[in-house]
Amino acid sequence: MASANKWQQPTVKSVTCFAINPAKQAPILPAAVPGVRHRRRIHLIWIALIIFIGAIGWSYADPDWEPFLFLISSLGVLLSQESHFKNTLESLLPKKNKRTILIKEDGSISYCKSSCIEIITPMILGEIINLSVISKEAESLRTYAQKEEDPNKKFHLKNRANILDKSMNLIKDGIFKIAELHKNGFIICRLQDLPIIVESFISLILESNLVSANCSIFDIYTRTKDGDEIWFTVKFNKEETDSILKKFKASSSQDLAIPYNFMVSDIQSEILDNKVIPKQVLMSLTNHKEHATDSQYWLIFNWYIGPH
């Protein structure tokens, strides 16, 4: 791609984190115990729901400004408990709809008495699935943190576990997104090939940012309906790079520098499933959230490839 058409990748501002000395924190009260806090949240959810239903009945029976004001206030309280209400609802789902994916400390994936197909097929069919993605490393870090006496080490162990939990939530959202894309026809492949995309997506979340000497980085880019250029990078190994260059009859990646001339859809389907689609799903959940709601974002024919 010519430098004039080269866009800048959305940058993430660095954030400086300051460790809090737990020794200077206020003592934990009984109300802060996780089990007690969870039960109290459940009680608040049901109280807020009952009050809201009562407000609806009052507004219907006596339509005046006072009932409507109370209705709006109770609705605000209920909405403030939205995330807790969602978690409570998921916990009440039938066990047959519960699925668990374990990410082991070595990065291997275990589907816990099911398979990737058994997890993703009900999602495509529109069934409500209570999916949990658990990091065994995060569990181990919390165990070590409980035994650690040094406050700073304890803090960093817990912080690392929290970061892993966020990655697990991202994996969960990505799996639901992949099922949605297949259901809507944006991912065109056989059902039995979906685990390749799912597992490549999981590996992408867990992998290091280091680039191997045998890898090449390419830009995958497009233009939005507003005329903005967006892009993301994909790492290809030597075999994949050679396949891409051979497809476009190029001797090096620089031969693909002509903007909007080399379509991603011309790449082999195996490379698309293993590398391009998983990275596109990840970007839709992070840097490209505002574009991912547009169906044009998911049309593979709208994307092009060039050197980084």
Q: Is the pLDDT reported for residue 107 higher than 70?
A: yes
Q: What pLDDT shows up at residue 274?
A: 92
For the entire predicted model, the pTM comes to 0.68
Per-residue confidence at 253, pLDDT binned at 50, 70, 90? Answer: very high
Q: Is the pLDDT reported for residue 24 higher than 90?
A: no
User: Is 245 in contact with 205 (CB distance < 8 Å)?
Assistant: no
Q: Is the pLDDT reported for residue 308 higher than 70?
A: yes
Cβ neighbours around 192 below 10 Å, total: 9
Q: Is the pLDDT reported for residue 30 higher than 70?
A: no
Query: For 117-162, how does the pLDDT look when each residue is reduced to its tens digit (9 = 90+)?
Result: 889 999 999 888 889 999 999 999 999 999 989 999 999 999 999 9
Q: What is the mean pLDDT of residues 175-183?
A: 94
pLDDT: is 39 or 16 the higher one? 39
Q: Is the pLDDT reported for residue 34 higher than 50?
A: no
Q: What pLDDT shows up at residue 85?
A: 57
Q: What pLDDT shows up at residue 43?
A: 67
Cβ neighbours around 239 below 10 Å, total: 10
Domain boundaries, the chain: 31-91, 95-201, 208-307
Query: For 41-57, how does the pLDDT look when each residue is reduced to its tens digit (9 = 90+)?
Result: 666 777 877 887 888 88
Q: What pLDDT shows up at residue 304?
A: 97
Q: What pLDDT shows up at residue 16?
A: 38
Distance in angstroms (rounded) separating the CA atoms of residues 17 and 304? 38
- Which strands make up the sheet holding 229-236, listed edge to edge? 229-236, 216-223, 304-307
Amino acid type, 90: E
Cβ neighbours around 305 below 10 Å, total: 24
**The two three-digit tokens of residue 261, written as one number:** 């001339």
Query: For 65-89, how does the pLDDT look when each residue is reduced to its tens digit (9 = 90+)?
Result: 787 787 788 777 777 665 555 555 5
Say if residue 62 is exposed, middle or buried (CB neighbours under 10 Å; 0-12, 13-18, 19+).
exposed
